[in-house]
């Protein structure tokens, strides 16, 4: 709520279920199998939606509880900031389609995966998402966000032109938006900060890719 206020209503909330291993152990939580992790995530999305859209929330669920949880004065965006849900499997994609204003995928890790294989996996995810969307009673709302995290792909880029090529390829797969990390001198996300200035100059052409 505070971030939405500070950004004057420009906040988008991107959320994911996390993975086995570090995502659980870093908080000292028990490891959950994929089904229970998905159950917990669905409950989290539902509860977060309530917390951000109403002044007082009470909740008693399998994984979370809230008693007289207050969000006052409320978000700038009403009824709440838009959600973008991370998903690579059918259950998560259905959650993104039914409870969120957008879908985000990272594609597979590039570790041991070629660039061609990475793009093939992203394309397969898009095909699965579109197939599930076709089963919906009503089409996804106009302006529904399809977001691709291109950090992995850009990690192999050596120029601004190559980054623009990555963005163009994402657009050709139907993605409306991309996100990448700011480059830094050392891994992870090693790169030249000057690329960002060059990319800024290309923004008009990049924006045209999604039209």
Number of compact structural domains in the chain: 2
Residue 39 confidence (pLDDT): 96
Phi and psi, residue 65, nearest 5°: -145, 150
Quick check: pTM over 0.85?
yes
At 210, is the pLDDT very low, low, confident or very high (cuts 50, 70, 90)?
Answer: low
Task: Name the β-bridge partners of 86.
Answer: 104
Biggest CA pair distance of the chain? 52
Residue 131 confidence (pLDDT): 97
pLDDT over threshold 70, residue 35: yes
pLDDT over threshold 90, residue 75: yes
Residue 86 confidence (pLDDT): 96
Residue 211 confidence (pLDDT): 65
User: Which of 60, 81, 102 finishes a domain?
Assistant: 81
Residue range 109-167, pLDDT digits in tens: 656 788 899 999 999 999 999 999 999 999 999 999 999 999 888 877 888 999 999 99
Q: What is the DSSP letter of 190?
A: B
Residues 208, 111, single domain; the answer is: yes
Residue whose entry in the numeric block shows the structure tokens 């050596």: 158
Residues 125, 210, single domain; the answer is: yes
Average pLDDT, the chain: 91
Residues 152, 200, single domain; the answer is: yes
Residue range 11-28, pLDDT digits in tens: 999 999 987 788 888 888
Residues 51, 138, single domain; the answer is: no
Of residues 155 and 95, which shows the higher confidence score? 95
Residue 109 confidence (pLDDT): 66
Residues 37, 58, single domain; the answer is: yes
Residue 172 confidence (pLDDT): 95
DSSP 18-73: --SSHHHHTTTPPP--HHHHHHHHHHHHHHHHHHHHSSEEEEE-SS-EEEEEE--S
At 183, is the pLDDT very low, low, confident or very high (cuts 50, 70, 90)?
Answer: confident
Q: For residues 90 and 189, give the distance between their C-alpha atoms in angstroms, rounded to a whole number.
A: 29
At 98, is the pLDDT very low, low, confident or very high (cuts 50, 70, 90)?
Answer: very high
Residues 196, 101, single domain; the answer is: yes
Residues 104, 22, single domain; the answer is: no
User: Which of 81, 108, 132 finishes a domain?
Assistant: 81
Domain that holds residue 210: 84-211
Residue 11 confidence (pLDDT): 97
Q: In sequence order, what are the residues at sequence separation of 6 or more whose Cβ sits closer than 8 angstroms to the Cβ of residue 87?
A: 16, 93, 95, 96, 103, 104, 105
């Amino acid at each position: 709520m505070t971030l939405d206020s500070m950004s004057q209503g420009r906040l988008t909330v991107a959320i994911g279920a996390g993975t086995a291993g570090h995502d659980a152990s870093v908080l000292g939580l028990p490891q959950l199998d994929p089904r229970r992790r998905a159950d917990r995530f669905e409950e989290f999305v539902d509860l977060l939606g309530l917390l951000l859209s109403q002044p007082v929330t009470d909740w008693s669920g399998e994984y979370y509880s809230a008693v007289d949880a207050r969000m006052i004065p409320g978000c700038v965006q009403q009824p709440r900031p838009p959600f973008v849900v991370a998903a690579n499997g059918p259950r998560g994609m259905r959650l993104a389609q039914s409870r969120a204003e957008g879908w985000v995928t990272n594609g597979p890790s590039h570790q041991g995966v070629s660039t061609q294989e990475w793009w093939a996996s992203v394309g397969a995810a898009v095909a699965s998402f579109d197939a599930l969307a076709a089963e919906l009673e009503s089409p996804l709302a106009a302006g529904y966000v399809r977001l691709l995290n291109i950090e992995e792909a850009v990690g192999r880029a050596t120029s601004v032109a190559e980054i623009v090529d990555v963005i163009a390829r994402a657009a050709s797969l139907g993605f409306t938006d991309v996100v990448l990390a700011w480059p830094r001198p050392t891994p992870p996300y090693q790169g030249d900060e000057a690329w960002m200035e060059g990319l800024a100059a290309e923004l008009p052409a990049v924006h045209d890719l999604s039209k």
